[in-house]
């Protein structure tokens, strides 16, 4: 993943956490924040020490970044988002891992061509 596509500073993470919206499934939580005038999307990845040792955490980080890289051209350009990995993701094969991440990204409406859905309470 290119350097321009990464959130690196704690302040950048905190802005997304405080001002952004979140969606989740069993394996991931995604916080997203729309940033007007930004040319590229930026992503931050968080994997807790509860997930396992450094080898396991780095493997999960690399898997998340690779899954995002595979569909980078479909992600809206004016977004900052953070992917937080949950414990059940440790046991998934890469294909399942990727599908679960894409499911959560669709719920967060990170892909181009997705419009906000209205809540239907009838």
What is the residue extent of each domain of the chain? 10-108
Summarize pLDDT for 92-117 with one digit per residue, the tens: 999 999 999 999 999 999 998 866 55
pTM (two decimals): 0.88
Cα–Cα distance, 41 to 63 (Å, whole number): 18
pLDDT of residue 117: 53
Cα–Cα distance, 121 to 118 (Å, whole number): 9
What is the CATH architecture of 10-108?
2-Layer Sandwich (3.30)
């Amino acid at each position: 993943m290119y350097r321009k596509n990464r959130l690196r500073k704690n302040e950048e993470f905190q802005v997304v956490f405080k001002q952004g919206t979140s969606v989740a499934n069993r394996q991931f939580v995604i916080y997203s924040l729309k940033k007007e005038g930004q040319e590229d999307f930026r992503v931050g990845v968080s994997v807790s020490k509860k997930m396992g040792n450094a080898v396991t955490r780095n493997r999960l980080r690399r898997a998340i970044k690779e899954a995002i890289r595979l569909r980078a051209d479909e992600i809206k350009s004016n977004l900052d988002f953070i992917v937080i990995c949950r414990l059940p993701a440790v046991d998934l094969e890469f294909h399942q891992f990727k599908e679960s991440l894409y499911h959560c990204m669709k719920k967060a409406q990170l892909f181009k061509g997705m419009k906000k859905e209205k809540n239907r309470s009838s």
